[in-house]
């Protein structure tokens, strides 16, 4: 793994003269990762220790020199010691050795996810995504669903999100797991605001399962953000047509109809919303805009009970700021706007 990286990253610079060529051979002989990434690798917090006899966490962290670390090659016998020795090698940028130890620990502990998690972390931190995907595909094919779920949960709990993307990409190659994996990928890229990537996986889901509730809901939400109002309405009607609902469905529908200046239809959707979802400033702003757009002199006092509930929860707006037309001065200003005085 690492020697090909060393060759790729060092060779063009190091072969300029004979002295540099000798330096290059020296690098290959003990094969540390390029110096610019040492600090990131050696201080990475996501490698996981196992309770061990010889190579405890304290012993691993006490080794501060790659030359001392090299003297431990081949010394670990038990799987937990091999796993922790792999971390020792990582901490000292001896990454070929680390890979060998993690692989050995994985074979000895096939039902323990830790060595596999460390291998994935090693490939990821080196930006060796190709090897990471190949490794994950092999791992997933060899393990039952329960073990896969343990592995996935560990990545989620440790907030190793980008490795979770690699995991789910590999999981999508397992028959029967495609929809679950694509949904996770669509959600991830949605949260990152990478709309094209998110839509790519949503489209794959809907091609295979046209009535997939969550995919339709997320597509509607994305269309709202991207101001594709017709798409919001299409997917919202699709959900209601099958008797399914996602959170804030009525808000998205009302927003789309409002933007299309179909205020009466927008207000119909607002009325359909659950009471609990009406208690937000965003919802009340839309409701107020629909009422006043349809009739500039509309009575907006119907919103007051919801607004006062928000005030009791700490909202900082005053009633006069949010409902200017409820005061005499506000009504007078509205009249002037309407009649151009």
pLDDT in tens, 264-297: 999 999 999 999 999 999 999 999 999 999 998 8
Per the prediction, the chain carries an average pLDDT of 86
Please name every residue paired with 32 in a beta bridge, in sequence order, or none if there are none. Answer: 94
* pTM for the full predicted model: 0.82
Of 155-164, 181-190, 285-294, 322-331, the poorest mean pLDDT is in 322-331
CA angle (81, 86, 87) in 5-degree steps? 100
pLDDT of residue 328: 56
pLDDT of residue 321: 79
The answer on pLDDT for 18 being more than 60 is no
Mean pLDDT, residues 254-273 taken together: 97
> What is the spatial distance between Cα 63 and Cα 227, in angstroms, rounded to a whole number?
56
Between residues 299 and 18, the one the model is more confident about: 299
DSSP reduced 3-state for 32 = strand
Of the ranges 5-9, 244-248, 336-340, the best mean pLDDT one:
244-248
Please return the burial class of 18, using the count of CB atoms within 10 Å of its CB with bins 0-12, 13-18 and 19+.
exposed
Residue 45 — φ and ψ, nearest 5°? -90, 0
Q: What is the DSSP letter of 54?
A: S
Mean pLDDT, residues 141-149 taken together: 92
pLDDT of residue 83: 97
Q: Which two tokens stand for residue 335?
A: 């009249």
Residue 78 — φ and ψ, nearest 5°? -80, 155
Helices (H), 209-262: 213-225, 229-241, 249-259
Distance of CA 71 to the CA centre of its chain: 40
The answer on pLDDT for 239 being more than 90 is yes
Percent residues over pLDDT 90 in the chain: 72
Handedness of CA 146, 150, 152, 156 (dihedral sign): positive
The answer on pLDDT for 327 being more than 80 is no
Of 167-171, 258-262, 321-325, the poorest mean pLDDT is in 321-325
> What is the spatial distance between Cα 76 and Cα 87, in angstroms, rounded to a whole number?
12
What is the b/e burial string over 166-195, where b = at least 16 CB atoms within 10 angstroms of the residue's CB?
bbbbbbbeeeebbbebbbbbbbbbbeeeee
> What is the spatial distance between Cα 341 and Cα 339, in angstroms, rounded to a whole number?
6
pLDDT of residue 17: 52
pLDDT of residue 313: 85
CB atoms inside a 10 Å sphere around CB 204: 19
Between residues 314 and 58, the one the model is more confident about: 58
pLDDT in tens, 38-93: 677 878 899 999 999 999 999 999 998 889 999 999 999 999 999 999 999 999 98
């Amino acid at each position: 793994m690492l020697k090909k990286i060393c060759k790729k990253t060092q060779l063009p610079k190091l072969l300029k003269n004979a002295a540099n060529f000798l330096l290059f051979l020296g690098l290959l002989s003990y094969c540390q990762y390029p110096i610019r990434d040492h600090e990131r690798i050696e201080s990475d917090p996501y490698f996981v220790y196992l309770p061990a006899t010889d190579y405890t966490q304290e012993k691993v962290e006490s080794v501060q020199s790659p030359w001392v670390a090299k003297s431990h090659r081949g010394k670990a016998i038990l799987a937990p010691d091999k796993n922790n020795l792999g971390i020792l090698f990582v901490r000292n940028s001896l990454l070929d050795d680390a890979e060998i130890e993690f692989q050995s620990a994985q074979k000895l502990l096939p039902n323990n996810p830790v060595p596999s998690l460390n291998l994935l972390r090693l490939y990821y931190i080196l930006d060796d995504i190709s090897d990471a995907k190949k490794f994950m595909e092999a791992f997933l094919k060899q393990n039952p669903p329960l073990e896969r779920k343990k592995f996935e949960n560990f990545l989620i709990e440790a907030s190793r999100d980008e490795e979770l993307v690699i995991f789910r990409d590999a999981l999508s190659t397992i028959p029967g797991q495609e929809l679950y994996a694509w949904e996770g990928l669509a959600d991830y890229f949605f949260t990152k605001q990478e709309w094209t990537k998110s839509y790519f996986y949503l489209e794959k889901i809907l091609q295979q399962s046209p009535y997939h509730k969550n995919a339709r809901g997320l597509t509607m939400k994305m269309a709202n953000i991207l101001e594709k109002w017709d798409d919001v309405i299409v997917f919202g009607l699709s959900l209601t047509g099958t008797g399914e609902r996602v959170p804030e469905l009525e808000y998205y529908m009302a927003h789309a109809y409002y933007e299309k200046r179909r205020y009466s239809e927008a207000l119909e959707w607002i009325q359909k919303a659950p009471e609990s979802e009406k208690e937000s400033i965003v919802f009340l702003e839309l409701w107020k805009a629909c009422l006043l757009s349809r009739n500039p002199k509309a009575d907006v006092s119907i919103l007051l009970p919801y607004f006062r509930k928000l005030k009791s929860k700490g909202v900082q707006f005053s009633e006069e700021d949010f409902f200017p037309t409820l005061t005499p001065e506000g009504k007078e200003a509205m009249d002037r706007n309407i009649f151009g005085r």
